[in-house]
A and B are shown apart, each in its own frame.
Chain A
Amino acid sequence: MTGITGGTPSVLPAWEGGAAPRREPLLAVEDLHVEFATRQGVVQAVNGVDYALEAGQTLAVLGESGSGKSVTAQAIMGILDTPPARVTRGRILFRGTDLLGLSEENRARVRGRRIAMIFQDALSALNPVFTVGWQIGEMFRVHQGASRREAERRAVELMDRVRIPGAARRLHDYPHQFSGGMRQRIMIAMAVALEPELLIADEPTTALDVTVQAQIMELLAEIQRESGMGMILITHDLGVVADAADRIAVMYGGRIVEHALVHDAYRAPAHPYTRGLLDSIPRVDRKGRELHAITGQPPNLLDLPPGCSFAPRCPYRQGDCAVEAPPLHRIGPTRGSACHYWREVLDGSHG
């Protein structure tokens, strides 16, 4: 049993496990740490996250609220409120350049142009007092110095591309005049306006009806196919992940607890938290199985326990879990799990 814990060789940064042979990834997050200074104390929101993404790939980042998935994305985007937030350690390599080392000016040059982001609630994420055409066109006007007329023309093109019916007619409408799904399409149009190399979608469908969710995910997939951009899909919804993503990274307590190819993770999770998540949703391929909710509460980020942060809620828990935080164990060429007992989890045998 002790042999499983292993030595250092079996511990790897997530981005080394890509399916393709070594080449420079589009994005590589390395050992990222983010803290928030609050009245109650320092909240450790992100505690050493590693992940990587190739162009044209979709990485799904999964986790409950407070797991650090959105904070990581905001750190990549450079839109964390600092203060209270502070990146204390790590690198964010975008095509080999550390974004954290850039000046604010150079950072702004990447933002919107090469890395774009869409948000969960398009109604509040769009400015209520400007027309949607103006907001989309602003990308061309500010970044490319386009004329007002030119910006409008291209805004209509984009609105057509994201399939907003009667785009030319609706150019001068305000965000509140659109339905939720249409608003998210406008967000998407704005984000892909300058054909970014990386799109971060932060819970893009959470606020939408189920039928609309599928349409939006389809649209995103289509745009990705055409443009070849990389996409980070942040979600807590496992249903969204299955079809849309190539790889999955599961976050818990500000760390990656498991990363894998999507179907590997679905077929046989290697971390008890992933297993818990999968057991808690109804799945067509597991008909007739009982659903289990994960008991207990998410970890207190103000005061993280010394060992594995999932240990208090973990059915596989052993004595050493509360003492020693598990490193990310390499399981295969494309897979890692931060659990001392990943074998047991993988075998589905309760300890």
Chain B
Amino acid sequence: MGRYVIRRLLQVIPVLLGATLLIFFVVFALPGDPIASLSGDKRTPPHIAAELTARYHLDDPFLVQYGHYLAGLLRGDFGETFSGVRVSEIVAGRFQISLNLALTALVMEAVIGVGLGFYAALRRGRAQDTLVLAATLLLISVPTLVTGFVLQLLLGVELRRSTGIDFFPISGAFDGWRSYLLPGFVLAGTSIAYLTRLTRTTLAEVLRADYVRTAVAKGLPRRRIVGRHALRNALVPVVTYLGADLGTLMGSAVITETIFNLPGLGQELFRSIYERQQPVVVGIVTLLVLVYVLANLVVDLLYAVLDPRIRYE
């Protein structure tokens, strides 16, 4: 187990280095002089420009700049914007919103996806199974862009108009956890469908496994066979998928955030790209890469807990 953890930790390092380098490279290639754009239409005074250039190592070669950035990251320092605001300050509140959104989506995904997958697997080949499969096909196919607006109109606007109650607030993050219900579902849509399919196939496969037949031969009640023997095995890939999905959900929330006016990381990144705030852009993407990598790390460790065959490798 110890060796497994260490090996897995070591594998994280090149991925982090590579991803940050790649991001840095793309951002570095962004056209335009960031300092010139600071003062809008006016020219930045030369002495200020010189000072900024020195502070951000803008004259250094690309790799040296990257080195400075990495050194900062290791100290937990995400750097400053060109106007002197700490990136970590800008990002912190945004991160919270994105995390809330992603976690809401993850919970919905887990509950609906696993539930539907279970339901379908136990009724494999029957009408309900086909119906669930058709629903997943629809969920996978209809883009977030479309589900977002359609659900906003139906469940947000029309429902409020007809009942007078605002079940699903549809704009901003002002209504506490309820603000995240509808956007969370929209964000989770595709994942729900994939998880449903994954749960269904995995469970159906597990139910055909020899050890389930053994459990039947042991004379166990059906509830115990499905709920203990099959479930425990089927959960391994399902939990793996769920864990890895947290990073993906956070990273793919831009469109949902835009539709529902949630000021999360995606929106901030979007704004920073327009305003050429390279330090913020790099900071946000690095943060999301970190979340993705850490989520996957946790999943792999969880995997070892769930499947003893890995643990003792």
Taking the complex as formed, is A79 at the interface, i.e. its CB lies under 8 A from any CB of chain B?
yes
Q: Are B218 and A138 in contact (CB under 8 A)?
A: yes
Q: In the assembled complex, how far is the CB of residue A230 from the closest CB belonging to chain B, in whole angstroms?
A: 16
For the complex, would chain B's binding face be called helix, strand, loop or mixed by DSSP majority? helix
Taking the complex as formed, is A65 at the interface, i.e. its CB lies under 8 A from any CB of chain B?
no
Taking the complex as formed, is B216 at the interface, i.e. its CB lies under 8 A from any CB of chain A?
yes
Residue of chain A at shortest CB distance from B307: A129
Taking the complex as formed, is A77 at the interface, i.e. its CB lies under 8 A from any CB of chain B?
yes
Q: Are A79 and B216 in contact (CB under 8 A)?
A: yes
Taking the complex as formed, is A171 at the interface, i.e. its CB lies under 8 A from any CB of chain B?
no
Bound form: Cα–Cα A176–B307 in Å = 11
Q: Are B221 and A126 in contact (CB under 8 A)?
A: no
Residue of chain A at shortest CB distance from B212: A127
Q: Are B217 and A79 in contact (CB under 8 A)?
A: yes
Q: Are B220 and A125 in contact (CB under 8 A)?
A: no
Q: Are B211 and A128 in contact (CB under 8 A)?
A: yes
Q: Are A124 and B209 in contact (CB under 8 A)?
A: yes
Q: Are B211 and A113 in contact (CB under 8 A)?
A: no
Which of A127, A143, A176, A177 is close to B214, meaning CB atoms less than 8 Å apart? A127
Contacting A at CB under 8 A, from B199-219, are: 208-211, 213-219
Residue of chain B at shortest CB distance from A123: B210
Q: Which residues from chain A contact B215 at a C-beta distance below 8 Å?
A: 127
Q: Are B218 and A128 in contact (CB under 8 A)?
A: no
Contacting A at CB under 8 A, from B69-84, are: none
Q: Are A77 and B217 in contact (CB under 8 A)?
A: yes
Q: Which residues from chain A contact B229 at a C-beta distance below 8 Å?
A: 127, 130
Segment among A114-122, A151-159, A236-244, A263-271 that sits at the interface with chain B: A114-122
Q: Which residues from chain A contact B219 at a C-beta distance below 8 Å?
A: 108-113, 142-143
Q: Are A112 and B210 in contact (CB under 8 A)?
A: no
Q: In the assembled complex, how far is the CB of residue A146 from the closest CB belonging to chain B, in whole angstroms?
A: 14
Q: Are B232 and A130 in contact (CB under 8 A)?
A: yes
Highest count of chain A CB atoms <10 Å: which of B218, B224, B233, B236: B218
| Contact string against B for A residues 95-113, beta-carbon threshold 8 Å, 1 for contact and 0 otherwise | 0000000000000111111
| Contact string against B for A residues 271-289, beta-carbon threshold 8 Å, 1 for contact and 0 otherwise | 0000000000000000000
Q: In the assembled complex, how far is the CB of residue A316 from the closest CB belonging to chain B, in whole angstroms?
A: 39
| Contact string against B for A residues 282-305, beta-carbon threshold 8 Å, 1 for contact and 0 otherwise | 000000000000000000000000
Taking the complex as formed, is A139 at the interface, i.e. its CB lies under 8 A from any CB of chain B?
yes
Bound form: Cα–Cα A117–B308 in Å = 26
Taking the complex as formed, is A190 at the interface, i.e. its CB lies under 8 A from any CB of chain B?
yes
Q: Which residues from chain B contact A139 at a C-beta distance below 8 Å?
A: 218
Bound form: Cα–Cα A90–B23 in Å = 72
Q: A111-B217, A127-B229 known; A177 and B211 CB under 8 Å?
A: no
Taking the complex as formed, is B274 at the interface, i.e. its CB lies under 8 A from any CB of chain A?
no
| Contact string against A for B residues 209-253, beta-carbon threshold 8 Å, 1 for contact and 0 otherwise | 111011111111100100001001100100000000000000000
Taking the complex as formed, is B42 at the interface, i.e. its CB lies under 8 A from any CB of chain A?
no
Residue of chain B at shortest CB distance from A190: B218
Q: Are B308 and A129 in contact (CB under 8 A)?
A: yes
Taking the complex as formed, is B3 at the interface, i.e. its CB lies under 8 A from any CB of chain A?
no
Q: Which residues from chain A contact B208 at a C-beta distance below 8 Å?
A: 81
Q: Are B221 and A108 in contact (CB under 8 A)?
A: yes
Bound form: Cα–Cα A116–B307 in Å = 28
Q: Which residues from chain B contact A109 at a C-beta distance below 8 Å?
A: 219
Bound form: Cα–Cα A138–B213 in Å = 15
Q: Are B221 and A142 in contact (CB under 8 A)?
A: yes
Residue of chain A at shortest CB distance from B216: A79
Q: Are A111 and B211 in contact (CB under 8 A)?
A: no
Residue of chain A at shortest CB distance from B214: A125
Q: Are B220 and A129 in contact (CB under 8 A)?
A: no
Bound form: Cα–Cα A177–B311 in Å = 11
Q: Are A125 and B210 in contact (CB under 8 A)?
A: yes
Bound form: Cα–Cα A124–B209 in Å = 8
Q: Which residues from chain A contact B220 at a C-beta distance below 8 Å?
A: 108, 112, 138, 142
Q: Are B211 and A174 in contact (CB under 8 A)?
A: no
Q: Which residues from chain A contact B236 at a C-beta distance below 8 Å?
A: 129
Q: Which residues from chain B contact A125 at a C-beta distance below 8 Å?
A: 210-211, 213-214
Q: Are B210 and A129 in contact (CB under 8 A)?
A: no
Bound form: Cα–Cα A172–B232 in Å = 17
Q: Which residues from chain A contact B232 at a C-beta distance below 8 Å?
A: 127, 129-130
Which of A117, A121, A128 is close to B233, meaning CB atoms less than 8 Å apart? A128
Q: A128-B233, A190-B218 known; A121 and B308 CB under 8 Å?
A: no
| Contact string against B for A residues 60-98, beta-carbon threshold 8 Å, 1 for contact and 0 otherwise | 000000000000000001010100000000000000000
Q: A111-B216, A129-B232 known; A174 and B210 CB under 8 Å?
A: no
Bound form: Cα–Cα A174–B229 in Å = 14
Q: In the assembled complex, how far is the CB of residue A125 from the closest CB belonging to chain B, in whole angstroms?
A: 5
Q: Are B211 and A117 in contact (CB under 8 A)?
A: no
Contacting A at CB under 8 A, from B293-313, are: 306-309, 312
Q: List 24 A-B contacts (CB under 8 A).
A: A79-B213, A79-B216, A79-B217, A81-B208, A108-B220, A108-B221, A109-B219, A111-B216, A111-B217, A112-B217, A112-B219, A112-B220, A116-B217, A119-B213, A129-B232, A129-B306, A138-B220, A142-B218, A142-B219, A174-B312, A176-B309, A176-B312, A187-B214, A190-B214
For the complex of A and B, 4 pairs with smallest distance between CB atoms: A112-B219, A111-B219, A124-B210, A127-B211
Interface residues of A (CB under 8 A from B): 77, 79, 81, 108-113, 116-117, 119, 121, 124-130, 138-139, 142-143, 174, 176-177, 187, 190
Instruction: Identify 14 new A-B residue pairs, CB closer than 8 A, beyond the known A138-B218, A187-B214.
Output: A108-B221, A111-B217, A111-B218, A112-B218, A125-B211, A127-B211, A127-B229, A127-B233, A128-B307, A128-B309, A129-B307, A142-B220, A142-B224, A143-B219
